[in-house]
Amino acid sequence: MASTESSLSQIFSFQDLKSSPDPIFEVPAQCLNPTPAPIIIDNGSFQTRAGWAVPGEQGAPRLLFRSVAARNRGAARSETQIGNDIPSLEPLRWLLKSQFDRNVVVNLEIQELVFDYVFTHLGITSEGSVEHPVVLTEAPCNPLHCRQMMSELLFECYSVPYVSYGMDSLYSFYHNNIQRNLQPPHTGIVLSSGYHCSHILPVINGRFDAGNCKRVNVAGSQAASFLQRLLQLKYPGHLAAITLSRVEELLHNHSYIAVDYNEELEKWRIPEFYEREVHRMQLPFSSKVPGGCVSVEERQERRAQQLRRLQEINARRREEKLQQDQERLDKLMAVQELLEDGLLDQFHKSLVELNMDSAEELQSYVNKLQLAVEQGRLKLLHSDGVEGKTEVSELEQPMDEGDGVALIDPDFPEDTLPEKPANVVQPMFNLAEYHQLFIGTERLRCPEIMFQPSPTGEDQMGLMETLQYVLARYTLKQQEALVSNVFLTGGNMQYPGMKERVEKELLAIRPFQSHFKVTMALQPSLDAWYGARDWALVNPPGGGGGASAEGWISRQDYEEKGGEYLSEHCASNVFIPIKLTKPVPARPNESTGASLPSTGASAVITTVTSATTPPSSTVAGVPMVTS
């Protein structure tokens, strides 16, 4: 009895959750007085979260919706559906668009629609402007052009007074350090994994070290695609049922990280362990099962039915063609009667309508139609005569020429498989199990790509190998400070066993008897929003004489310094000045064959750009920071 209950407890159903439209909230009074409260927008590639930066119960995200938009081709802008306005994503999957390319905003048109949705549902009704400061998250090492376009959108289109940019991972790091009562400045290393990519972000003395951060292009979307491919190969009869939404549900609710991957796979070889741990996902039941065992008699009967249906279709087409020819013949005969009755004017008028020139041409068409009608009637009589014959030998005869392709190729060999005797016991087909998806080793194989991306075809390092590479760029003392606060955050870090796996990998990476500490975010998906709210409450915008506080960009700063300008703070990106060596062009009066001396022949130009990846790549001998 206990084993039966254990087996039944492993049968699950897909929730197939449908979203409901978000209500339009009213702006709380404390968000207006004495000064407008900032709006916190966690602009994630999977989900957008928005709310007010106020203490208490109001200081929670009011809007949580998928970062997608759906609009039919040629539809008006007002007909675009955003986030929770889309009840189910699967019917509109081919129409969905996002503002992101991986984790970087590139489609500003969709981003503007998302902002309209956020401001409208938060209750902002002011015409032509948003009078509240905005705190917005962005990708680590966000390209300058993307930040410029975002600042232009917020300041020019919405006329916001202040904007602050920060990284969601560092906001989560900031929030959890406050909750743990750690005194700033904070030092540690952040392992963040979202929907499109994962990041290794070192933080030293409260500042993000952009020169040594790394990105791994493996995260939740790659795991979902990998799981979908595995299940569709395993269950080819349920391709339509294995949708991306259901696969994401399997990842979120039924997957886990193995502390020792190879050892865990060996456990799955044991039948008792498999029966105990496998998750059976129940699909909608249908009595029709494709394929199956079909006897020779049933196969011949199906072929006979197909032939009869094809003969009926051909007979119906002959009748329709015969009826059309007869109607046209009657019309032409009526025109000929006009000539016989001597009504020449009506006769010539009818010839013009028929696009004919003479009575001889009319007679030629009449003769052709009479012959076609006669042949059509003979074919109908012939088909009625052979309709009752149902011998199997008829299946091998070709059909009438011009009526269609023969159903059975006469050169195709007959079935050579011997018919099974009736006394042989046929295996029973379990119809209930056919409508279940058995999720076994897929529960750990798909999340494992974060540590071993090679099964998906990605030629890059895993998360912990990348962490080892980043740590090797620091001194031993700095390494000890960083690993003393290893912080895990992001929606793709919520698998059970993630913290234990990172601790095991760090134990293998670090020297013997070295110390480290791994901490998981309290709410890996929401702590970025709460961290941005905490930062906005501690660092309010504004200042005397139009100046802005640290971390805030005012409209005056935007107009004077441009859209690429970034005011740094503890959770923001940083600017890195780099030197680009540019050759001096030759003067016109100098010969082209003359060579410039090696010294003094180049000018050093110092520019300020947003950090992307460590300056390890070179283009034509020029060191550059590339994204």
What is the tens place of the pLDDT at every residue in 210-253?
999 999 999 999 999 999 999 999 999 899 999 999 999 999 99
pLDDT of residue 427: 53
What tokens were used for 92? 């509109």
Instruction: Read off the pLDDT band of 335 (50, 70, 90).
Output: confident
Taking alpha carbons only, the member of 538, 503, 533 closest to residue 518 is: 503
Tell me the C-alpha to C-alpha distance, in Å, between residue 81 and each of 77, 86, 117, 331.
9, 6, 9, 56
Beta-bridge mates of residue 190:
201, 487
Burial of residue 453 (CB within 10 Å: 0-12, 13-18, 19+) is buried
- The 10s digit of each residue's pLDDT in 372-431 is 888 888 887 776 665 545 443 444 444 444 444 444 444 544 444 455 454 444 455 677
Per-residue pLDDT of 84-118, as tens digits, reads: 999 889 888 888 999 999 999 999 999 999 999 99
What Cα–Cα distance (Å) separates residue 431 from each residue in 237, 285, 290, 294, 438?
A: 13, 9, 11, 16, 14
Residue 80 pLDDT greater than 70, yes or no: yes
In order, the DSSP letters of 32-101 are TSSSPPPEEEEE-SSEEEEEE--SSTTSS--EEEES-EE--TT--GGG-EEGGGSS-SGGGGGGEE-SEE
CA 106 to chain centre: 16
If you write DSSP's letter for every residue of 404-433 in order, what string do you get? Answer: ---SS-TTSPPP-SPPPPTTSPPPPP-HHH
Given its phi and psi angles, is residue 74 left (phi above 0), alpha (psi -120 to 50 degrees) or beta? Answer: left
pLDDT higher than threshold 70 for residue 149: yes
Residue 58: its pLDDT value, please? 77
What is the predicted pLDDT for the residue at 328? 85
| The total number of residues written for the chain in this structure | 627
Rg (CA), the chain: 37
pLDDT band at 365 (very low <50, low <70, confident <90, very high): confident
Residue 247 has a pLDDT of 96
The token pair at 589 is 């009066």
Q: Which amino acid is located at 138 in the chain?
A: E
Looking at residue 384, what is its pLDDT?
66
- Looking at residue 587, its pLDDT comes to 67
The amino acid sitting at 454 is S
Tens digit of pLDDT for each residue in 494-506? 999 999 999 999 9
Q: Are strands 162-167 and 553-554 parallel, antiparallel or unpaired?
A: antiparallel
β-bridge pairing 518-520 and 553-554: unpaired
Q: What is the mean pLDDT of residues 70-82?
A: 83
Query: What is the distance between the alpha carbons of residues 490 and 597, in angstroms, rounded to a whole number?
Result: 53
Is residue 148 classed as helix, strand or coil in its secondary structure? Answer: helix
Specify the pLDDT at position 294.
57
Q: What is the pLDDT of residue 291?
A: 54
Cα–Cα distances (Å) from 611 to 144, 172, 218, 573, 577, in that order, read 9, 21, 21, 8, 9
Q: How much is the pLDDT for 547?
A: 55
C-alpha distance from residue 472 to each of 217, 476, 483, 485, 615 (Å) = 21, 9, 12, 16, 16
DSSP string, 280-291: EEEPPP-S--SS
pLDDT for the residue numbered 136:
98
* Helices 498-509 and 463-471, packing angle to 10 deg: 40
- How does pLDDT run across 512-563, given as a tens digit for each residue? 999 999 999 999 999 999 999 999 999 999 754 445 688 999 999 999 999 9
Per the listing, tokens 């960009």 go with 553
- Residue 173 host element (H or E): helix 168-179
